[in-house]
Structure 1
Amino acid sequence: MRFEPARGGADGFARARSAGEPADQATVRRSNLSLVLRHLSEHGPRSRSAIATETGLNKTTVSSLVSELQARGLVDETGPAHNGAVGRPGRTVTVDGARVGALGLEINVDYIAAYGIDLAGRVLVDRRASFDAMGSGPERSLDELTRVAEASLAEFEAAKATAAGITVAVPGLIDVAAGTVVFAPNLGWRGVPVVGRLAAALARPTVPVTVDNDANLAALAEFSRGVAAGVPDLVYLTGEVGVGGGVISAGRLVRGADGFAGEVGHVLVDPYGERCGCGRIGCWETKVGLAALVRMATPDHAYGLGVDGIVPDPEERLTEIERRLADGDLRVAQALKEIGRWLGIGGATLVNVFNPRVIVLGGYFARLGIHVLAAAQAELDRLVVTGQESRCAFVASDLGFGAAALGAAHVAVERVLTDPTLVTPVGGNPYQLEERR
């Protein structure tokens, strides 16, 4: 779990000072708790001695930190650790976190998804249901989202886990700080206070609710555990009704001045092209979105596709496209080649701006990846300023359509990894936070 990593230990004190916070004992303690918990999360079970060696903390401090993390139910100690050293083997410390859950929700044009995990990564909830969000409007959609959230939280309770946070993924421009969807063209939403509405309906004041762009969250999921896990410079492209992007640079999500970075689907690629659902002409989305594929590959099934680019029954359309392709339909093969070509054209712009190592294709792009990757890569190599020197490759995601919900769940996980003191000690007893050296 490597979302925007904040390292602790020796630099925790300096980080606190640079942020303008008082570097008091509690701040350093929180930083060191985070360092130990994150180290175990990223590197697996360790003995207390190994933790001390690898983090640079002294053994007495590590012993105190592990004891507190145990009291908060975040780690456990199991049988002896055999590392080949002479002497009595130490016990192995491992991330537990079975009592701490994180819930990710996604609302998109035609479905609502929920993905819940505990701190150790065990799946508690994994569901996706068809829902006409665009046709239902914001109020009915948020009612349904609340229902899904309540059902998911009930599953948490059945597993004896408490939610540390809920994050909602929405395709559109998001004011993360205000908790508002500023504009989601494919949903028809403007100025929708998702966080306030959902938090009030759930009536769980101890469970923080946040909202973020679906592509941003999917990019974080890819960086954490996808095909490009650990690659510090990557771009993720959604391939659903709309096309969006999430950019990871030097291991951190790029948000931009107003938090709206990544709206790559609305980059102009053809000034004489078709009108986009956002109202502009020639957006990249009009060339590579699912509606564009349906029009080219199955023109006899292109009914119901308006200016908004919404595709009725997208799963059925994709299944039909795959069937025709398997039957040797040359029109479908040519349509996919054209989608790949435009992916490469738009991708070249992203490479020239961000210089990523990988462009991860999600959604329907990934499902049909084998049929678009070659054309996309050829066009990318032809158009980037540095040519093949850029060493950037298109790859298909293996996280499926659930990448955004997965990334949303990990936001709450990251919150706990950054500040383990947010989790109440088992039994609710206050834990003494003094540093024992």
Structure 2
Amino acid sequence: MLRQTNLSLVLRHLRDHPAQSRADIAEATGLHRATVSNLVAELLDRRLVRETGTEHAGAIGRPRRPVTLHGAHVGALGLEINVDYISAHGSDLSGRVLVERRIAFDAMAGGPDLSLRQLGRVALEAVEAMKTAGATPAGLSVAVPGLVDVANGVVTLAPNLGWHDLPLAARLSAALGPWRVPVTVDNDANLAALAEHTSGVAAGTSHLVYLTGEVGVGGGIVLDGKLLRGADGFSGEIGHLPVDPGGPRCGCGRHGCLETKVGLAALMKAAHPETSLPASDPEERAIEIARGLTAGDSRMAEAVAQVGKWLGLGGSILANLFNPRVIVVGGYFATLAEWLLPPAQTELERLVVARSASQCRFVASDLGFGAAARGAASVVVNRLIDHPTMIPDPIPRLAPH
């Protein structure tokens, strides 16, 4: 246990501080230099770190040999299943992207059985692509738009998918056949928030909220640099804040949820009330709306401005409750940011109570519609770094004599 903890400590330091000498690692971690040398030797043997050359610290003495995080043979796969698409993001231990794709899929019409079969197919195709790139996935995490019992891998409720008490982790593990790896499940907004906190436009911000911009609207909340989950792990259901009790019926069965005001389906209905639009990729729909706005479609502009005001109202509630410095918007919110965010920011500043809370700013994500899958892959990487001795050893070791 102690050795695994120390190996993890070294790996985490190298993830955050590339190209460090053994002496640098010892000084930063508080470990003895001899201990660090032994740990680095094992990590080199496992091909989880590599040496990057020599570095002369002064005119005399032995030159330092910096090491950096490696693990090119170790893969992490993140998947997201949403109302009308499935996405995959695969990387190696150092963060090198190996596969990134999204396919259109009507999960609402498919139901859980067909959805799980399709999710399994996408996973196995991604695994083959990652193996071709030289990395074997050692874990898989799935992002779902709904309430998730993370400890048991069960989707408790995903109203926009029509799923109730679905043991997704167990079912997906069975669908993957002989490929046996740990499978975890989490809320899509939580995973996207983690991706934004580590590698997005607000990377490193200790207090942020992430809002998905899909047919449904979810939120992930990071406070003091940590994801806020709540007592049962169900925090962040921002889309179901009641903002208009007399409003339209939401997919959750209630009326007037924020989602019914700012979700992509709500925008499309407001802009084209006479048209029943077929299911399509949400990014394509957002681009279609942007074209209409650029062309001067007045009805579309009015609909987007109204969504922006409701988004600002929702943002003000978050600012008053959690006092974040940044509210990062993803999905279609990010695609239409230049039209949505000005009215949203104005409404937020009008409705916040504390003057300091008015410093909170809406910003558009640059991770696209793949933020949740990216966050899912990062969860796998974190788990592997926490338990490096569980990573499959690429080099057969000789049995002791």
* Alpha-carbon separation, structure 2, partners of 1:296 and 1:144: 32
CA contact (8 A) 1:425 1:431 kept: no
Equivalent position to 2:105, from 104, 123, 131: 131
Q: Does 1:37 align with 2:5?
A: no
* Alpha-carbon separation, structure 2, partners of 1:146 and 1:401: 20
Amino acid at match of 1:258: D
Residue of structure 2 equivalent to 1:88: 62
Equivalent position to 1:59, from 19, 33, 58: 33
Amino acid at match of 1:383: L
* Alpha-carbon separation, structure 2, partners of 1:189 and 1:54: 47
Q: What is the RMSD computed on CA atoms of the aligned residues?
A: 1.8
Q: Number of aligned residue pairs: give it.
A: 400
* Alpha-carbon separation, structure 1, partners of 2:340 and 2:399: 56
* Alpha-carbon separation, structure 1, partners of 2:351 and 2:303: 21
Moved over 6 A (4+): none
- In the TM superposition, residue 126 of structure 1 has moved relative to its aligned partner by 0.9
Residue of structure 1 equivalent to 2:324: 356
* Alpha-carbon separation, structure 1, partners of 2:337 and 2:57: 44
TM-score (norm 1): 0.88
Structure 1 unaligned segments of length 5 or more: list them: 1-26, 306-310, 433-437
Q: Does 1:189 align with 2:163?
A: yes
**Alignment partner of 2:216: what SS?**
coil
Q: Deviations over 1:192-247 (max 9, x none)?
A: 11111111121357510011111110000001100111111111000011000011
- In the TM superposition, residue 250 of structure 1 has moved relative to its aligned partner by 1.1
Q: Does 1:257 align with 2:270?
A: no
* Alpha-carbon separation, structure 2, partners of 1:239 and 1:201: 30
Residue of structure 2 equivalent to 1:203: 177
Flag the 1:431–1:335 CA change in 2: closer, same or farther, 3 A: farther
CA contact (8 A) 1:298 1:321 kept: no
Amino acid at match of 2:100: D
Residue of structure 2 equivalent to 1:274: 248
Structure 2 unaligned segments of length 5 or more: list them: none
**Alignment partner of 1:145: what SS?**
helix
* Alpha-carbon separation, structure 2, partners of 1:83 and 1:187: 58
CA contact (8 A) 1:235 1:359 kept: yes
* Alpha-carbon separation, structure 1, partners of 2:337 and 2:163: 30
Please give the residue correspondences for 1:29-428 in structure 2 after superposition, counting only pairs within 5 Å.
29-83=3-57, 86-204=60-178, 206-301=180-275, 303=276, 314-428=282-396
Q: Deviations over 1:127-182 (max 9, x none)?
A: 11111111011001100111111111112222332212100111111111111111
* Alpha-carbon separation, structure 2, partners of 1:398 and 1:89: 41
- In the TM superposition, residue 330 of structure 1 has moved relative to its aligned partner by 2.3
* Alpha-carbon separation, structure 1, partners of 2:140 and 2:221: 22
Residue of structure 2 equivalent to 1:18: none
Q: Deviations over 1:375-429 (max 9, x none)?
A: 1111111111103445211100000000000000111100111121112433242
* Alpha-carbon separation, structure 1, partners of 2:58 and 2:262: 56
**Alignment partner of 2:116: what SS?**
helix
* Alpha-carbon separation, structure 1, partners of 2:353 and 2:336: 28
CA contact (8 A) 1:185 1:277 kept: yes
* Alpha-carbon separation, structure 2, partners of 1:275 and 1:283: 8
* Alpha-carbon separation, structure 2, partners of 1:390 and 1:379: 10
CA contact (8 A) 1:68 1:431 kept: no
